[in-house]
Amino acid sequence: MRLMKAVWIFLSSAGLMLLLDLLFPFRVEPHYSTLVEAADGSVLHAFLNQEDKWRLYTELSEISPTLRTTLIQKEDRWFYYHPGVNPLALGRAFFTNLSRHQRSSGASTITMQVVRLLEPRPRTYLSKGIEILRAFQLEAHYSKDEILQLYVNLVPYGSNIEGIKAASLLYFQKPPEVLSLAEVMALTIIPNRPNSLRPGKSNAYLQQERNRWLQRFKEKKLFDSQTITDAMAEPLTAKRVAAPRSAPHLSLRLKKEFPDTPILKTTLQRSRQATLEKLTYNYASRLKAMNIHNAAVLVINNRTMAVEAYVGSSDFNDNSDGGQVDGIRAVRSPGSTLKPLLYATAFDAGLLTPKSVLYDVPTNFQGFEPENFDQQFHGKVSVEFALANSLNVPAVQVLSELGPAALIEKLRKAEFRTIRKQSSKLGLSMILGGCGVTLEELTTLFASFANQGQFSKAYYLQQPEFHNPVSLLSEEATFLINQILTQPIRPDLPNNYAYTYRLPRIAWKTGTSFGKKDAWSIGYNAHYTVGVWIGNFSGEGVPELNGANIATPLLFEIFNSIDYNSTAQWFAQPPGLSHRKVCVETGRVPSAFCTHSVEDYYIPGVSSARSCEHKKRVWVDIRRRLSYCPYCLPETGAEQVFLPNDPPQLTQYYENRHIAYEKIPPHNPACTRVLRNASALKITYPVEGSTYRLSRKDQTRLALTAQATSDTKTLYWYVNDALVSSTTPQQSVFCQPAAGKVKISCVDDQGRVQTVGVQVSYE
């Protein structure tokens, strides 16, 4: 009967405890500070929690055996044996306090202290009773190690410091797992009297109390006698220091993205981050005399795609120049930095090979007339020359043939977010910087060239989400780009580059945005890809700002720092790439009239096998003063020769600059059946379908220009079918047509005609 009663009482009590636990759950939700760690586990950056306290999360692995033993022996020797409350200690404290008529002992276990730290209450007997019940709850839901972990995370150290990890970092500048016995003992006794035992202000007294407790441990033989003797002799030099503040831009970024994660383990290399922060700061300081104030640097390990250095600005604390702006994520104009992707895409499309010839001459692309950075033109150039020299007109020519949609699709695959938003508005100007990109996107894109065309997203946190690499470009195309961008003789080599003697072999591309607002230099080798941006966060342009002389020197300094004198093997030629002879004049497969050839790379089955057409058969008289078509070819006195088959824009370039070239003689004037070849005549301005607003007050006029073949001597211009002027092909005509729809026609002296329609209005 008594047994049944006891069982009933036990079950009733258990049921009551379970009901109370359900009705009044104990919520363990401490607010921790955010801690950002480097790849080696060292602390890069620490933040106050939402209560403005330094409460850094201590992991179980950071509780060393020395810390565990010292803490338990001092605070709660029976911690691993009681259910949250020590009945003997509680009874002894009750009678002691009762006999002395004052509260002299609380008998709080570590579990009870955790309850009090989580739910502070006035120190009354009622509060003690609630504390005991909560201690049972805590023990029912958490293991002993988890409760100990909560204690070391919450224990107060005075001021706004809570937890052993915060105290260890702020007082001893080291994590808790490497603290010595003397340091552990000091941190263990501070919470009892945080005001009188504050490190840095009362070190002598703290050392005295520390040694008193160490002597107790020696008497109890808790540690080896010599170990304790050495600990007692260890000087106490603790003082409060500022929390670590390295990699502030990435730290703020990660804190915002992961607000509830107390420890963010990054891929940053601590020493490398510190070195590049200082390097960038010093370099940017030298540029301030030129009114250039900001810089940003990103370093990616090509093998892992882990970010090893992240410098968002040259000086985070410089509020006057926007130091807290993250230049790695700021959307800026890319200048010419997208050209390698364009040419690689053209290689994969079979349009070009490195020796293919393009025309760097004044050209109108439906109203868009690009110019080169140096405002010069170079005539016929190869693809490798055009890319190495970052020529603008050839790049626009290639994009025009390829189509903007093809390049936009590549950028979408490379996760260019702004490009995705702007895609419907982008045209040919995007290749010269007419779009928005970030340093993060550009640097990750260039890492694809170091990874055989495979795009993988760069990551900042250890154990990232796995993403399959995306095939962005072929291995063959990336190899060709790597070869071109490694050429040392090029205009974007800095003026002062003597210090680069030990520079590892790298490929790099520079860029300068319109208005001299952004200077870029992105470089890579087998080990690393480094992105550098320099400019002003305010958007102010500077005449001296350019990628070659402003951004590239910093790029070279960084490579000398992270990969100094590297002998890493360069990218090997892929088996899918072959060589062939091509005509020097066009870069195409030689024809019968090609006299000079050169060896070129090509991708079998992909690269165009089109034969060279830089010359054509022409019937001329013996003195080569007239040319004949099949309708006017005389029976005698004519011969067939090969003459240049240059496009109109090239011949016009030669004519305007008085460059000697071999011309096709004028057509036989007696011919009555001239072939009407409209493609030999092209109106370059105005542009078909465009609207032009003129001013009668300022007497602004509409310019009329055209491109014609070398055998054309005269052009006739008609506005609304009325003749307005006759000129040479090199001259422009200016007119003020009537408002409304206007028909403009151009006729050459051989009868070829082209017509465009535009809309004209006046203000």
pLDDT > 80? residue 552: yes
pLDDT at residue 567, rounded to an integer: 64
Residue 657, helix vs strand vs coil: coil
Is-contact 85 111, C-beta < 8 A? yes
224 exposure class (CB count in 10 Å sphere: 0-12, 13-18, 19+): exposed
Q: How would residue 99 be classed by pLDDT, with cut points 50, 70 and 90?
A: low
pLDDT-based confidence at residue 88 (cuts at 50, 70, 90): confident
With a CB cutoff of 8 Å and minimum separation 6, the contacts of 498 are none
Please give the pLDDT value at position 307: 97
- The confidence score (pLDDT) of residue 501 equals 53
What is d(CA 112, CA 376) in angstroms, rounded to the nearest whole number? 81
Residue 735 in 3-state DSSP? Answer: strand
pLDDT value at position 89? 64
What's the mean pLDDT in 642-647?
84
Does residue 686 have a cis peptide bond before it, meaning omega lies within 30 degrees of 0?
Answer: yes
Q: Give the range with max mean pLDDT: 1-15, 58-72, 448-462, 664-678.
A: 448-462
The pLDDT of residue 96: 63
Residue, of 663 and 281, whose pLDDT is higher: 281
pTM, two decimal places: 0.83
Question: How confident is the model at residue 19, as a pLDDT?
Answer: 60
Measured CA to CA, the distance from residue 243 to residue 134 in angstroms comes to 34
Tokens in use for 8? 């009933």
Greater pLDDT, 9 or 54? 54
- Of 577-581, 683-687, 747-751, the range with the lowest mean pLDDT is 747-751
| pLDDT bracket for residue 132 (50, 70, 90) | confident
What is the arithmetic mean of pLDDT over 121-129?
77
pLDDT at 104: 45
Cα 294 from Cα 281, distance rounded (Å): 9
pLDDT by residue (tens digit) across 432-478? 999 999 999 999 999 999 999 999 999 999 987 777 899 999 999 99
What architecture is the 678-762 domain classified under in CATH? Sandwich (2.60)
Domain boundaries, the chain: 2-29+47-233, 339-562, 577-613, 678-762
Predicted confidence at residue 532, as pLDDT, reads 98
Q: Is the pLDDT of residue 15 over 70?
A: no
Q: How many CA atoms lie within 13 A of 582 on its CB side?
A: 23
pLDDT at res. 105:
47
Name the DSSP class of 626. -
Average pLDDT over residues 174-181: 92
Q: DSSP assignment of 64-125, as one string?
A: -HHHHHHHHHHH-TTTTTSSSS-HHHHHHHHHHHHHHTS-------HHHHHHHHHS---SSH
pLDDT in tens, 510-542: 999 999 999 999 999 999 999 999 999 999 999
Are 43 and 169 a contacting pair, CB within 8 Å? Answer: yes
Show which residues are catalytic: 75, 336
Distance CA 509, CA 219 (A): 70
Q: Report which listed range, 313-317, 570-574, 709-713, is most confident.
A: 313-317
- 693 strand-pairing partners: 761
Is pLDDT at 28 greater than 80 in this prediction? no
373-389: average pLDDT = 91
CA–CA dist 100, 653 (Å, integer): 108
With a cut of 50, say whether residue 723 has pLDDT above it: yes
pLDDT at 630 exceeding the cut of 90: no
CA dihedral defined by 392, 393, 398, 403, rounded to 10 degrees?
A: 90
SS3 188: helix
* Per-residue pLDDT at 557 exceeds 70: yes
> Confidence band (pLDDT; 50, 70, 90) for 95?
low
Q: Is the pLDDT of residue 351 over 90?
A: yes
pLDDT digits (tens, 9 = 90+) for 197-251: 889 888 999 999 999 999 999 998 889 899 999 999 999 988 999 999 999 999 9
Distance CA 116, CA 123 (A): 10
35-44, 85-94, 483-492: segment of lowest average pLDDT: 85-94
Which CA distances in Å does 219 have to 76, 184, 522? Answer: 18, 18, 65
Q: Which of 58-67, 98-107, 656-665, 735-744 has the lowest mean pLDDT?
A: 98-107
Of 31-35, 228-232, 522-526, 689-693, which gets the smallest average pLDDT? Answer: 689-693
DSSP letter, residue 22? H
Query: What pLDDT band is residue 2 in, cutting at 50, 70 and 90?
Result: low
Kindly write down the DSSP assignment for every residue of 539-556, as one continuous string: ----TT--IIIIIHHHHH
Q: Assign a CATH topology to domain 339-562.
A: Beta-lactamase (3.40.710)
Amino acid at the residue 761? S
The full length of the chain comes to 763
Q: How many of the other CB atoms lie within 10 Å of CB of 37?
A: 20
Q: How far apart are CA 743 and CA 755, in angstroms?
A: 7
Buried b (16+ CB within 10 A) or exposed e, 660-691: eeebbbebbeebeebeeeeebbbbbbbbeeee
Q: What is the pLDDT of residue 206?
A: 92
Average pLDDT over the chain reads: 87
pLDDT at 127 over 80: no
Q: Is the pLDDT of residue 675 over 70?
A: no
Least confident stretch, 185-194, 487-496, 544-553, 555-564: 487-496
CB 601 within 8 A of CB 577: yes
> H/E element holding 716?
strand 715-719
Superfamily of domain 2-29+47-233: Biosynthetic peptidoglycan transglycosylase-like (1.10.3810.10)
- Per-residue pLDDT tens for 243-274? 999 999 999 999 999 998 999 999 999 999 99
Question: Residue 568 above 80 pLDDT?
Answer: no
Cα-flanking dihedrals φ and ψ of residue 615, to 5°? -130, 160
Q: How far apart are CA 323 and CA 668, in angstroms?
A: 71
Cα 512 to Cα 518: distance, rounded to the nearest angstrom:
6
Q: Which residues contact 62 (CB under 8 A, 6 or more apart)?
A: 165, 175, 176, 177
Mean pLDDT over 92-112 rounds to 63
Write the single-letter amino acid at 691: T
The CA-CA-CA angle for residues 114, 118, 122, to 5°, reads 95
Question: 582, 353 in Cβ contact below 8 A?
Answer: yes
- Tokens read off for 474: 């072929």
How many Å apart are CA 745 and CA 174, to the nearest integer?
Answer: 81
**What pLDDT band is residue 3 in, cutting at 50, 70 and 90?**
low
Give the bridge partners for 726, in sequence order: 716
